[in-house]
Structures are given as structure tokens and as C-alpha cells.
Amino acid sequence: MIARKRAAHRVTGMAQGGMTENNDPLVRFESVQKSYDGETLVVKDLNLDVARGEFLTMLGPSGSGKTTCLMMLAGFEPATHGEIYLDNSPINNVPPHKRGIGMVFQNYALFPHMSVAENLAFPLEVRKTPKSEIEQRVTKALDMVQLGSFGNRRPAQLSGGQQQRVAVARALVFDPVLVLMDEPLGALDKQLREQMQYEIKHIHENLGVTVVYVTHDQSEALTMSNRVAVFNDGVIQQLAPPDELYERPQNAFVAQFIGENNTLVGDIKEADGDNVTVDVNGSIIKALNVNTGGVGSKTTLSIRPERVAVNPSNEGDYQNVFKATVEELIYLGDHIRTRASVCGDDEFVVKIANASALAAIKEGTEVTFGWKAEDCRALDA
């Protein structure tokens, strides 16, 4: 799924809506810090630009500060230090209702005492939009999320997925330039979640609205985003498009957090520009120098399972070839997850396609693993 081609990296393509080209970022965090108790920083010196029309995801484990950033942007939490700019004007002192930012909440936050149509009309009513226009825009918004005939229902009469769509429609009905989404799909089951991911993505592409999306689900982030900011411990670990994030993680945390990953810990023996030689439990591995402390320092090697060749016929193509023992096989339909011990590490995982000749492999057999130095990234320890 992750290797899916992503053709939609058109951050600038949003000018197609007839807007004049504007290269200033829509949102800018400038050395923003946030502390709740005055003792620990939840967000540490955040600098982040969000481009117009971009779908930017803040991804990270719980407690990493991503939701706090969103709340500061929405205006529900004041920044302890620093300034947030929306459309080039500082908004630290602008109350939430004047920011004009649409927001989708984790539990949808649909107003239970109002019908679906009344929920959608609410942001227009408080803006004193004329009645006829309200009706027209509510209908349009409901059609957009394929809930045209549900206007008179109460939120409680809708399924989770339908409530979710209403929440999205409500956040968009007043034409905000920016929409924030705080784990909006967290409460849905897996299948519905995937379907909604595409719907939200398509709405984003059609409307050209800027979206800042918060999630802890990496596949969600990779599916929908133009760029992903990986948060950990109050700091953005890496900010990059999904493919780059997966293929070229900058540190061990990102490598671990995004996708499946094999890690081998060792000491750097030699360094020569982009290439390093690492001693892992006595095995010498050639790797790509990405983010290390130089010769003598410890490093974490990151190798994606699908970049490892099993019993390669052309061993010469691989700078690293090692004997491995198959420890465990887990049948997963399209592929067989194979855990093996190699270079003194018995948590090394490779994926063997079900159709290949290797599918008949047995536990306990000895095989050969080969991987290229460029696929083996030497990161911080």
C-alpha cells in the first residue's frame, strides 16, 4: 500500500481554483513553545510553514505535541512563546471564532439537539448569511458528502461514517481557507476508515482548501498528505512528502515509526563520504551515511524488509551478503512474513512473496540475505 504511486503531489496546483498565485505560506509557526505546567515543554521551538492548498499531516505517537499544535492553531490553547501567523497576520490574540478556521473533531462534536441541516447552517447563521443562501449552501455541502437526503435527521440517527461526513461538511460549509482535522477517523472501523481517507483526500483536491491533519496512524498520513510532519517529544523529527519519509528517514525514530523496518545497532569503523562501514556484532556492514556521529560512534542501521533479497542469484549486486537462519514464518496471504536471525539479531524481518519459489521455505533452514549499501541507512543511535 505504501509503495502506491502518488501522482497527486501538486501543492501548487491549488491555484487552479481561480485564486491568484500566492507563494506566502498560509500558516507559519515561528519558534512556538508550549508548556501546560511551567515545568515541561510539550512543544519545543516549533517552526513550520504550511503552504496554501497543502494537505499537511502532523503524525506522531500520543503525547508528542501534535494535537497541542493543532489546538494552538485553532485558538483553543495559547502559545507560551512564539507567534503563529495565518495569512501573514499574527493570530495569537485572535479569539477562535474570529479565525475562520474549520475544524473536524475526533468525536465529530455534532450538536445532538440540532438536525444535520441545522448543524450545517449553524456557522452560516452566526455569520448572518441570508436565509436563502444558507439553504442553498447547506444543500450543496450535503451533496458534497453524499448525504443529500439526510438533512432532517438527528446526528444520533446516523452511522459513524455518516456523522463523520457531516462533521467534514460542517467544517467546510462556510468556505474556510484552512481546515483542521483532529484524528477524525479514529472512531471508525478499518474498512470505513480507508474509504473516508479517499473521500477526504478527494474533497481536498476538489476544493483546494488547506488542510492540517493530525493522526497517529501512519498509513493514514501516507495515504492523504502532501507533506507529513513526524512529531516526537515536542519536536518535528522530519518534515517531508510521504515517499521521502518512507524511503529516506532522517533518524532512527522516523525509520521505526513509518512502515516496517529492521534495525541493527553497531559501531562505525570507517567513514568515507556517503559510505560508512559498521561493525554489528562482529559482522561488517556497508551502509549509507545519513545521520551519524562519525567514526567510533554508535549508529542504528535501518533496512526496509522489502529491500532485502533472499537467496539472491546475483550476489555480486549486493554489498552486504550474510547467512541467516529462518526462525519463524507467518502466513499473511499475499506474502510470508519471515523472521530470521542475521548478524546476531534475531528480529530481522523480510517479506517473501507468496508466488515466489521461496514460498516453500521452512523454519530452521539457512538462507542468504543480501542488501545494497544505499538501502541500508546509518542513522543516529
Torsion of CA 242, 248, 251, 252, to 10 degrees: 90
CB of 211 within 8 A of CB of 204? yes
Taking CB under 8 A as the rule, does residue 96 contact other proteins? yes
Q: Tell whether residue 130 is a contact of other proteins (CB under 8 A).
A: no
Cβ atoms of 188 and 164 closer than 8 Å:
yes
Verify binding: residue 170, other proteins, rule CB under 8 A.
yes
Q: Per CB under 8 A, does 370 bind other proteins?
A: no
CB of 243 to other proteins, least distance (A): 32
Residue 203 Cβ vs other proteins, minimum distance, rounded to whole Å: 18
The strand order across the sheet containing 89-90 reads: 43-50, 27-34, 81-86, 89-90
Category of 323 on φ-ψ map: left (φ > 0), alpha (ψ -120 to 50) or beta: beta
Q: Which of 123, 161, 184, 234 binds other proteins (CB under 8 A)?
A: 123
Within 10 Å of residue 294's Cβ, how many Cβ atoms? 10
109 lines the binding site for other proteins (CB under 8 A): yes
Nearer to other proteins, 5 or 113 (CB): 113
> Strand pairing of 298-303 and 262-272?
antiparallel
Restricted to residues 50-89, the positions that interact with other proteins (CB under 8 A) are 74-76
154 is a site residue for other proteins (CB under 8 A):
no
Selected range binding other proteins among 166-174, 290-298, 348-356, 362-370, rule: CB under 8 A:
166-174
* 157 binds other proteins per the rule CB under 8 A: no
On whether the CB atoms of residues 22 and 178 are closer than 8 A, the answer is no
Q: Which of 96, 95, 72 is nearest to 84 (CA)?
A: 72
Which of 85/105 has CB closer to other proteins? 105
- CB 174 → other proteins: shortest distance, Å? 7
Q: Which residues bind other proteins (CB under 8 A)?
A: 74-76, 95-103, 105-107, 109-113, 122-123, 126-127, 170-171, 174, 180
